[in-house]
Amino acid sequence: MAERDPLEDELRRLEKRGLQRIQQSRSGPDPQDRADAAAMEAEAERAGAHEIAEAILDSKGLRPTSTGLVVTFLLAFAMAAGGVPPLWVAIGTIVALLIELTRLGSGELVNPGNLFYILFVVFHIFIDAVQAFSYGPSRFTALFAFGLVYWGLFRRNDVPFNTLNAGRYAGLLLGCIFMWVVYGFVPTIFSWLARVGVGQEVFNVLLVVGPPIVLLFLLPETLLIKSGKQFWLILGIIALVAFAYNAGLAGSVLSIPGLQASPFAVDRWGAASNFGMLFWNPIKHATLNFYEMVYAPACHTVIDGLEKFVGGESSGMADSLCPAIKELEAKKRFDANASSTPGGLAGWISHRIDFATGQVEETKKEPPGVFLDPLIAQSAAVEGQPVIATSQIRAVTLDKPLNINLFCKAMGEKSNHTADSITPAKTIVVEKKDQKGIICMFDSLPAETFTFLVTASFDFKTVSYTKSYLALDTEISALGSRDAWFDRYDITERSPEPKFTPGPVSMGVRIEEQQPIIMYPKASPQRLFINIPIQNAYNGKVRQINRLLIALPKGLELEGVFGGRQKGDIEKIECNQLSDEDRRGCNDDFFNVYDVVVQDKDVTGITYRAVATVADYVSLLSPAPPAAQYVKVIVDYNYVLEQRSPGLTIEKAASKGLTEEVESR
Amino acid sequence: MSPNRQGRLSLALLSVVIVMMVSSCQGGFSSRPSSVDVHVGSKGIEARFMPSAPPVKVMENVEFPVILELENQGTGHVQNGLILFSGDSGFITIEESEGSFSVEGRSKSNPFPGKALIERKAQSLELDPQRQIHEASITATLCYPYETKAGINVCIDTDPLNLALRKKPCSVSSVSGARGQGAPLVVAEIEPSMIPEGEGVIPSFVIRLQNQGGGLIVDPRKVSLACQPLAQSKDLFDRVDIQARLTDTPLVCDSKVKLEDGKAEVECVSPDAFSRALGAYMAPLTINVRYGYTQSLKADVKIERRN
């Protein structure tokens, strides 16, 4: 008996389905439907039954979208919110993936839009290359290999796209498995499992980019592909991913320099991470409310009922099978953090933005800094006569004396004038703590309205540091979890916040790793990403950032610093090469110190990203657990404070003749 | 006064003195160690930093003492326990961060907890520029072998179906050990059962263990590894060795006992059947659990700048 051709079977199936659709439309009440059906019938005659099915799907706007993908995302969100047990998510996602694979395999989803899978692979290879294979060469090799395999199978020109074919089936299957299971899904789920477990908020690229991608799948993909504008689709996806990587993944060194000054930079209001929050909170609360109010009670009722039915007493099995309370511990910790910030979601987001730098450290005396009082000009003045404007400056420094340069200016509608004298001096020196009145004197000003300006510029240093706990992978493995490690060593501060000294800028130093940072000696070289966000904190300007001194614990080596305008190479130095002031607290026994000269001007906010390599994990974990290591950064910058007075109108002086007449009388 | 009368008076006085002496001695005996049950409670070694050692606040660049007081409230004797001290790297240094200690447990002959003081010198380091205060901490971690010994009378009923129609002096039921046995790992409950075997029974016991202390249980063969951060293996924690005897008969217990969430169930079974002719009677069940124990404690130290 001759074997049946599966292709023919498929065509017959499609033909049958297409003709049924046409039949339904022809007999339907809608004249438009009837007209469409007639057109399709004509097209069917031209193109054959297979195209009929395609035409029907297109005409009805029924180009299939990735339902499985949407389900996967929703499940992942639900679990990230801490409300659905990971096992359930895993089962649900496997089912969703099977649906997806089946649909892909059956040819339902075959269109050029699927090329974006390849683009994702290529993009990630690029990221790995930029990050100097920080995830290890194995990841790069795997990406490269499956990218090639997928591309090789998928791009077969000898096989038309719309023909069911074993090669294409295999290609799609491989691509899908590689992309969603090996590369995308598994690491994400593992990462979430780890993070949700300690109650830290979950931020990763999937959360940030996920919802827009879902929307992209649902809406424009169909339209763009139908209209042959795949190019724009591809461009949009690249832009979206680049945006997320620039701002969403704080640990990534891949950043677009132009975006640093934009509202889309890391920690700014437009950062992708903040958009992620918009999706995060509603989904989280909706899921958890459902969990608390519907799922957990129902689950308990069913399990307890079953146990009673079987004839036993409640054994507490429901508690383990309906882990509402346990799973919600993460949520409670999360909410405890969130509720400590005012203003709901907006407050939460702004809190995150503030949070990005760190906390001002406690001081026992008056905090260091420079403060300039508002400038007050005299209330009336006459042309040609001296005019003064006064202010007051207060300064506190702990280390070297502060040199403060003062400058006064009268800014008129027609002319600007620099002060003829400044009292006490144009440069004042503050040894420790001082408070001085400032008098800006203008010998003569023309008759017009002036605004007076006083500026105080000075060099200042801010120190930021962060504590990090380090643990060996085998110890975490033996204890079972990070929380168990913290419990073992009686540590309650599980996410130490960066701190910085008071001054004109706020600053944070943060290793972008969950605590305790796990050391993997067998997977060396291990890299750590350190974020150093700096933001203007006073009502002035950071005129220029000159230098960063980065002190890493012994055992960590600095590889590079990104995100700023660097001048020259990074230099590893010893403490005795530093100035007396900077040498304070520097200890070669405990720290590797790096001098990074930068030239970033007029900064309102900037984030430097440092990449460090674990060179000697024994040093990092010594002398005894729990290893609490510090990363310290001293930033050296020039700051300008300014104050302006309200406008002062200089009156015209009386004419000379009239003046003489008055005097003679 | 006649000598006779004087003699009687002397005798009376002597009697009073003797009675007083004896009664005072009896007063002492009434609190004799033998009357104190040391095998209760769930405390092992209690550790605490001495007040002001370390001080709550120190200036930068000064030496200060760190003294740890160990008090063995349990009944296990600890020989060559390990201790590790660690401080914030770059802010505090501690001399001899590793060391050993020994501390006796309570016993019938000496019901008072053994004590040990461990002293170290620590040094605060200079603070960074612009900084006035640093909040540091010092952690001490102890790793030591320990054991729990429990002696509990259980009812052995060789005729659970009462075929002999005899009145039984006891009945088989669970025995609670929730009061503890003078160690952090507590034999919380013993659930006996008599498994009919031929003309008798095989006694079997489910022994429930619970870690009621604040530390972690460590495999007794790997105690020192728990205090070596670079040499920890996967099966280091929550492992115990258990031995049990019913009167003089060693029972066969599960060989690999692992605690989950601080609890474990171990089944110990008699290797031989007990004849029905023995009837029902009370017998001592002796349980000996060997394990290592590790615990940590932390003290905060605020380092202040000098000027």
Give tens-digit pLDDT for A439-454. Answer: 999 998 888 888 899 9
Rounded Cα–Cα distance for residues A349 and A355 (Å): 9
Cβ burial, residue A263 (10 Å; 0-12/13-18/19+):
exposed
Contact (CB<8Å) A621/B229:
yes
A474, A503, A629 member nearest B89 (Cβ): A629
Match 């009697």 to its residue by tokens: B15
A363, A463, A490 member nearest B128 (Cβ): A463
CB B218 within 8 A of CB B293: yes
Q: How far is B282 from chain A (nearest CA, A)?
A: 31
Q: Which amino acid does the sequence have at A132?
A: A
Q: What is the mean pLDDT of residues A539-556?
A: 91
- Checking if the pLDDT of A153 tops 80, the result is no
Phi, psi (degrees; rounded to nearest 5) at B207: -105, 120
A463, A478, A621 member nearest B236 (Cβ): A478
Please indicate whether residue B157 or residue A242 has the higher confidence score (pLDDT).
B157
Picking from B219, B259, B254, B252, the residue whose alpha carbon sits closest to that of residue B235 is B219
CB B298 within 8 A of CB B230: no
pLDDT for A351: 33
- Give the DSSP letter string of A256-271: -GGGGGSTTSTTSTT-
| CA angle (B7 as vertex; B5, B13 as ends), nearest 5 | 105
- Checking if the pLDDT of B101 tops 90, the result is yes
Chain A residues with CB inside 8 Å of B296's CB? 488-490, 626
A472, A501, A590 member nearest B230 (Cβ): A472
Rounded Cα–Cα distance for residues A342 and A357 (Å): 18
pLDDT for A157: 38
CB pairs < 8 Å spanning A and B: 125
Eight-class DSSP state of A492: -
E-assigned strand segments in A62-208: none
Q: How far is A220 from chain B (nearest CA, A)?
A: 51
Residue B139 pairs with which residues in a beta bridge? B86, B298
pLDDT for A481: 81
The highest-confidence range among A362-376, A601-615, B168-182, B196-210, by mean pLDDT, is B196-210
Eight-class DSSP state of A461: E
Q: Which of residues 169-198 of B touch A (CB under 8 A)?
A: none
Interface test with B, best of A490, A593, A622, A637 (most B CBs within 10 A): A490
Contact (CB<8Å) B128/A474:
no
| Nearest-Cα residue of chain A relative to residue B299 | A490
pLDDT for B306: 85
pLDDT for A480: 79
Please name the residues in contact with B237: beta carbons below 8 A apart, sequence gap of 6 or more. A478, A479, A480, B216, B217, B218, B219, B226
Distances, alpha carbon A52 to alpha carbons A17, A19, A21, A40, A498, in Å: 9, 8, 10, 7, 63
Cβ burial, residue B229 (10 Å; 0-12/13-18/19+):
buried
Picking from A586, A325, A321, A119, the residue whose alpha carbon sits closest to that of residue B128 is A586
| Nearest-Cα residue of chain A relative to residue B128 | A585
pLDDT for B146: 95
Eight-class DSSP state of A432: S
Q: What is the mean pLDDT of residues A297-321?
A: 69
Whether B133 contacts chain A with CB within 8 A: yes
User: In 3-state terms, what secondary structure has residue B110?
Assistant: coil
- Checking if the pLDDT of B166 tops 90, the result is no
Rounded Cα–Cα distance for residues A653 and A443 (Å): 15
Contact (CB<8Å) B89/A475:
no
What's the predicted TM-score (pTM) here?
Answer: 0.61
Write the ipTM: 0.80
Please name the residues in contact with A610: beta carbons below 8 A apart, sequence gap of 6 or more. A529, A530, A532, A550, A558, A559, A560, A561, A562
Please name the residues in contact with A203: beta carbons below 8 A apart, sequence gap of 6 or more. A248, A250, A273, A276
